[in-house]
Structure 1
Amino acid sequence: MAVRTLQQTGVGDTFGPVSVPVRRETLVAYAKASGDQNPIHQDEAFARSVGLPDVIAHGMWTMGAAGSVVEEWVGDGGRVVEFGTRFTKPVVVPADGGSVVEVSGVVKAVDEETGRATVDVTVTCAGEKVLGRCQAVVQLD
């Protein structure tokens, strides 16, 4: 994977949308890796009992999925120097087929001195924004 350079990056540049599928099996694996065994992420009956429409993805999984798309765009995970967001809506993951998270971005600023770019990241599922104020700062070559 090629590392993105300062010369090839400008304000207004875009990437995506990139589709990131999520299935119940994804949530089980994430729960094991993260230690987050909250039943809203695996037990449909429990999720519904607390007012959710179905099992939902871990917020940090959703953030990580978005971060992975930024990492791919910039060419190296170590070049993502800041990443922040607000969790605005859950990603509902039905048993039959799962869901798809769509990630896209637009370069909002490029700092020639530091070689860093600020990227606004948009993350949606089923046409609804699931992360708000999602922004990454990346180091360019």
Structure 2
Amino acid sequence: MRPQRLQDFVLDTLKNTAGAVQVRTLAEVGDSKHPFGIAVTTADGEARWQIIGQLADGERHDHQERPVEGAPAVWTDAVAGDTAEGWLAAAIGRAESPEIARIERWSIREGKRDQGMTLHFHSGAKAYVRKL
């Protein structure tokens, strides 16, 4: 799933997620530095997330995207006191996209404090969603 389509998917998903007060693209909130991303407002405040894509081996940007589907990613629900990263990862996982094979949260890796996640797609592509 390329960044534009992922951004649209996440926007649609979050608009229907409990706890989301407002969901907009980074462009809509005036961020012209990052081409793809979202700004999510919850009761805890606003979090901004940049979306960066990595094509699957052999894929090129001048080729039309070919979605590959499989079993949706296994995910863990956010718990009280979890970070914005946990909430976002749970919301994306709950949507059960058949294109997303795995969701890897960054902050729970040993020795890491960065908030973000890597979405691994069945096509072999990846998306990096990093908190700004």
TM-score range, shorter chain: 0.3 to 0.5
User: Could you say which structure has the higher helix fraction?
Assistant: 1
Which structure shows the bigger proportion of residues in strand conformation?
1
Q: Which has the higher contact order (CA 8 A, sep 6+)?
A: 1
Greater C-alpha radius of gyration: 1
What TM-score do you get using the length of structure 2 for normalisation? 0.33
